[in-house]
A and B are shown apart, each in its own frame.
Chain A
Amino acid sequence: MCLTMSLKTNLPIAEIAVRANTTRITAMAMTNHSQLGHTGGDLSSADILTCLYFGEILSVRPEDPTWQRRDRFIMSKGHCSGAYYSTLAARGFFPESLLKTFMDPLSPLNGHPDRNKLPGVEANTGPLGHGLPIAVGAALAAKMKGEPWRVFVLTGDGELQEGSNWEAAMTAHHYSLDNLIVIVDRNRIQQGDFTESTIRMDPLPEKWQAFGFTVKELDGHNHAELLRAFESVPLSKGKPTCFIANTTKGKGVSFAENRPAWHHGVPTRQQLHIAAEELKVELPW
């Protein structure tokens, strides 16, 4: 891991790395608690989420979560709620103690996020292909109001098989939404199999380019690269941005890495200990 400093935050990259791995182990502990969850995507998206919320990329106020001029982050891949909740709690949107209630009866921590139950959640997601249209609407609202906020949306790659994403992409291009940043968690695995064996996604960057986005591929686990990219948006004035973040599903945990079965695999207590050791962080409980 490169120990350079983040340009904007002055936080050591190493601290972001620890935070990302804490998110990983917390999401896994939550999945162990509920015996349900999406370990593979939690682990692939943890670095992206951590850079957005802890690299001072997103202008948000946890103490005033609906502050009108905030940057919006929309977690379109709502099934990766373990990583998302863990990040929001660590950032101070709600107490970390709530994480232990993941999917418990009447818990505000649904399997998929509900904005009416948890501060910081911008959109109710879970069914795929919902986040990008909502993000486009929020970006249009900023343009209509002349407000400075940006809208970041994280989608899965299998998720892009839903046609609503491409409807929304056309709108983003037509309305020149340079305040919209799409990040694709390109881990190449969906629920049943590898994406390319399920329904071919490649050439994915070219698809986004053809839909009018300025596209950049990056290593979705390299914090310095992620932060540099997020700090440089929009990549082109007058055009929406798309980052294809190449990731590894199950990243950082040997038994889960790049295995379709870990899309919604549930770790045992013993596996949690192995994961904590590999991630070099403490188990949260």
Chain B
Amino acid sequence: MVNTSMTERTRFSNEHPKELFDCRDSYSSTLESMAAQDDRVCAIVNDSVSSTKLKNFKTQFPNRFVNVGIAEQNMVGVGAGLANGGMVPYVCGASCFLIARAMEQVKVDLGYSKWNVKLCGMSSGMAYGQLGATHHSIEDLAWTRVIPNLTVVVPADPQETEQIMRYSLEHSGPMFIRISRMPVPAVHLSSETFNLGKAAVLNQGDDVTIITNGVLVYKALLAAQALETRGIYARVLNMSSIKPIDSDAIVNAARTTRGIVTAEEALLAGGLGSAVAEILALHHPAPMRMLGVPDVFAPTGSSEFLLEHFQLTEQGITAAALELIDKKNP
């Protein structure tokens, strides 16, 4: 089996030092840059100016900054109205409130109406670990993925966050961009570009496939390295585009590797793993392991603690891949 793993050789050692980034910085600086170039770009927040990192935006573009206060239903509706008036609104707030509180507006005012509004969900997943289940947003992928016309993307690092933000301005139609505050290293090579509906192959391998996105991409790459030391070559797909999803890459993984591990910082029901399973069930059933949060509210604890709690770690992903392969070839 030919493998061309490049995790150790280039992705980390050469191009990226192990510096950690908050993807919100990338999103907010990109949004400012986009607003400077395009006067249709405006930002809407629900009080949370600092947690959406839009203080600079507010200072630079006061006329295109709207704070509706703590009122998420209204915020999404206002976004639809701004789009009606020819603006391109970026509706920004903590993901747990933005999506859950305004679910009917997301469905009717955005998905059904097809208004060109971009939802930027901050601190999604379990980034607000210690604050408790009220502030976790692990349901948002399941909820948004089922809404027709709504594009759902989860960037993994600062470079991808910037690329997705810039893409969103070209994209006509509503989008949900799920942005974490958990510190992550850069995982993309500067030559790699975001393509909606296409998975990025971040590590080549033909033994097993790991499909993930967001803050877990780095951990999946570490797992791939750990597996490589055991002579197991894992393909790592960054499925940042959850909807539309790259069916071809999923089916190809099922055909050419011995099984698929999905890892997501979200509820197992309805999220990335479910989306992958739907494709496999219809087109190419294959052995799977799904890592994520089972049917529980996550406990309180730091986000790193919670990732460990649910085996969303290098070790957890490695173990799932080994189990998958062992099961098939005892």
A residues with CB within 8 A of B = 68, 72, 114-116, 122-124, 126-127, 129-130, 132-142, 144-145, 147, 149, 151, 163-164, 167-168, 170-171, 174-175
Q: In this complex, what residue of A is CB-closest to B46? A: A167
Within 8 Å by CB of A141, from B69, B77, B87, B105, lies B87
Alpha-carbon distance A151/B68, docked complex (angstroms): 18
On chain A, the residues within 8 Å of B64 by CB distance are 144
Within 8 Å by CB of B108, from A72, A116, A130, lies A130
Alpha-carbon distance A44/B109, docked complex (angstroms): 26
Within 8 Å by CB of A163, from B73, B112, B113, lies B73
For window 104-142 of B, CB contacts with A under 8 Å fall at 104-105, 108-109, 112-114
- Pair B84/A134 contact, Cβ less than 8 Å: yes
- Pair B77/A168 contact, Cβ less than 8 Å: yes
From known contacts A68-B86, A124-B112, infer whether A140 and B80 are also in contact, taking CB-CB under 8 Å. no
Residue with the greatest number of chain A CB neighbours at <10 A, chosen from B76, B81, B108, B112: B81
- Pair B82/A141 contact, Cβ less than 8 Å: yes
Within 8 Å by CB of A137, from B84, B108, B112, B114, lies B84
Q: In this complex, what residue of A is CB-closest to B71? A: A167
On chain B, the residues within 8 Å of A171 by CB distance are 66, 68-69, 71, 74, 78
Report the minimum CB–CB distance from B107 to chain A (whole Å).
9
- Pair B84/A164 contact, Cβ less than 8 Å: no
Is B234 an interface residue when CB atoms closer than 8 A count as contact?
A: no
Alpha-carbon distance A132/B73, docked complex (angstroms): 11
- Pair A164/B66 contact, Cβ less than 8 Å: no
Is B85 an interface residue when CB atoms closer than 8 A count as contact?
A: yes
Alpha-carbon distance A174/B71, docked complex (angstroms): 13
Alpha-carbon distance A127/B42, docked complex (angstroms): 27
Alpha-carbon distance A170/B108, docked complex (angstroms): 22
Alpha-carbon distance A210/B147, docked complex (angstroms): 37
On chain B, the residues within 8 Å of A134 by CB distance are 77-78, 80-81, 84, 109
From known contacts A127-B104, A168-B74, infer whether A141 and B85 are also in contact, taking CB-CB under 8 Å. yes
- Pair A137/B73 contact, Cβ less than 8 Å: no
On chain A, the residues within 8 Å of B104 by CB distance are 127, 130
Alpha-carbon distance A203/B206, docked complex (angstroms): 71
On chain B, the residues within 8 Å of A145 by CB distance are 85-87
On chain A, the residues within 8 Å of B85 by CB distance are 72, 137-138, 140-142, 144-145, 147, 149
Q: In this complex, what residue of B is CB-closest to A151? A: B81
Q: Given known contacts A124-B109, A144-B87, what 20 new A-B pairs fall within 8 Å (CB)?
A: A72-B84, A122-B84, A123-B80, A123-B81, A123-B84, A130-B108, A130-B109, A133-B75, A133-B80, A134-B77, A136-B74, A137-B85, A138-B84, A140-B81, A141-B85, A145-B86, A164-B77, A167-B69, A170-B69, A175-B66
From known contacts A123-B113, A124-B108, A130-B105, infer whether A164 and B74 are also in contact, taking CB-CB under 8 Å. yes
On chain B, the residues within 8 Å of A168 by CB distance are 71, 74, 77-78
Is B83 an interface residue when CB atoms closer than 8 A count as contact?
A: yes
- Pair B112/A114 contact, Cβ less than 8 Å: yes
A-B pairs with lowest CB-CB distance, top 5: A137-B81, A141-B85, A133-B77, A167-B74, A167-B71
Report the minimum CB–CB distance from B116 to chain A (whole Å).
12
Report the minimum CB–CB distance from B60 to chain A (whole Å).
14
Report the minimum CB–CB distance from B92 to chain A (whole Å).
15
Q: In this complex, what residue of A is CB-closest to B73? A: A164
Q: In this complex, what residue of B is CB-closest to A132? A: B77
Residue total for B at the interface (Cβ-Cβ under 8 A): 30
Alpha-carbon distance A25/B63, docked complex (angstroms): 46
B residues with CB within 8 A of A = 42, 63-64, 66, 68-69, 71, 73-87, 89, 104-105, 108-109, 112-114
- Pair A124/B113 contact, Cβ less than 8 Å: yes
On chain A, the residues within 8 Å of B114 by CB distance are 116
Interchain residue pairs with CB less than 8 A apart (21):
A124-B109, A124-B113, A133-B74, A133-B76, A133-B81, A134-B84, A136-B74, A138-B84, A139-B81, A141-B81, A141-B87, A142-B85, A144-B64, A144-B85, A145-B85, A145-B86, A151-B81, A164-B73, A167-B71, A171-B71, A174-B69
- Pair A127/B108 contact, Cβ less than 8 Å: yes
On chain A, the residues within 8 Å of B66 by CB distance are 140, 171, 175
On chain A, the residues within 8 Å of B112 by CB distance are 114, 124
On chain B, the residues within 8 Å of A114 by CB distance are 112
- Pair A130/B77 contact, Cβ less than 8 Å: yes
Report the minimum CB–CB distance from B76 to chain A (whole Å).
7
Alpha-carbon distance A14/B76, docked complex (angstroms): 42
Q: In this complex, what residue of B is CB-closest to A122? A: B84
On chain B, the residues within 8 Å of A68 by CB distance are 86
- Pair B113/A116 contact, Cβ less than 8 Å: yes
Alpha-carbon distance A123/B114, docked complex (angstroms): 10
Alpha-carbon distance A72/B82, docked complex (angstroms): 12
Report the minimum CB–CB distance from A21 to chain B (whole Å).
31
Within 8 Å by CB of B113, from A115, A138, A144, A175, lies A115
Report the minimum CB–CB distance from A274 to chain B (whole Å).
37
On chain B, the residues within 8 Å of A144 by CB distance are 42, 63-64, 82, 85, 87
Alpha-carbon distance A217/B63, docked complex (angstroms): 33
Alpha-carbon distance A282/B279, docked complex (angstroms): 57
- Pair A167/B68 contact, Cβ less than 8 Å: yes
Q: In this complex, what residue of A is CB-closest to B61? A: A144
Residue with the greatest number of chain A CB neighbours at <10 A, chosen from B68, B77, B79, B89: B77
Alpha-carbon distance A147/B83, docked complex (angstroms): 14
- Pair A140/B113 contact, Cβ less than 8 Å: no
Q: In this complex, what residue of A is CB-closest to B63? A: A144
Report the minimum CB–CB distance from B156 to chain A (whole Å).
32
